Structure 1
Amino acid sequence: MPPSRESVAEMSAVLVRVSGNVARASRARTGAARLAILRAVAEGSEPRPSDLATHLALSRASVTKQLQELSADGLVELTVDENDRRSFFVSLTEAGRAQYDALTERGLQRFALFTAEWDDDDVRELARLLTKLESSIAHAVRNDTPIAGRPWQRRD
């Protein structure tokens, strides 16, 4: 039997509050944007900036600017794509891997603080349910038009 409207409304309200708090915290912490890019690069196999922009739902210009900054800081290496010399591949340097690991550890410490009074079973159950929700969302919207990019450039 599907969930009741009331339980869906309650879940929705909590998710909106939590995601809003996470978004505000990400904007307020300078390391959050770097971590998102570094994580996406670390999890990909030498992605292109366009791949990162799509994955992170950011503009290509924003991703390119951040990659240039990360490259200048010695955290990523940009390698020209020999098949398309206008594009390049992104990989982490050793310093980039170290910063990614440090930012990840800081994030884990924050979430450990948030769940300090929980037991392992509760944390695992939340992770399981969030993974299930993520999968359900992906399945439900698989045919939707992507919402990334400028609204006036989207096909409706």
Structure 2
Amino acid sequence: MNKEQEHTFVTLLEENQNIVHKICRLYTSDADAHNDLFQEITIQLWKAYPKFRGDAKFTTWMYRVALNTAITLYRKSKKKIKTQEIEPISFKIKAEEYDDQVEQQLRLMYDAIKELNDIDKALVFLYLEDRDYKDISETLGISEVNARVKMNRIKTKLRTVLNP
């Protein structure tokens, strides 16, 4: 990867790092696991970026890589993930701080979403990010109709959990 590509990658990651933080929040239960997953997703994005062709929006590609990394890590949690050293430039990403009060308000919703299976979690996440069903279906590799049907079923399930 040349310097221009590195700069573009770091800029895009900084601008869209909330996507990764939200995915980490869905698939982890403590700060250490969140940081580990954030680092692993960043590494996977870094390794995959040279192959990014721009056929889809950067954020759609980022969702796909991040969700696949999170799902793979936690489905195979007993296996150790091999990591590699990357150049120091990737660690110059300015991290944003989250407001504890906002975290408290979101906790109930995230706890309910965590009860869903991995694919349903990903679907809800993309839906909450205001992604249209076409983007959701492309990201998850399912049909638009399937995405709509699954989302309606998930909404019913979450209503039951959140309003017993």
Compute the TM-score of the two structures, normalised by the length of structure 2: 0.29
Bigger radius of gyration among the two: 1
Identify the structure with the greater helix proportion.
Answer: 2
Task: Give 1 or 2: higher strand fraction.
Answer: 1
State the TM-score, normalized to the length of structure 1. 0.31
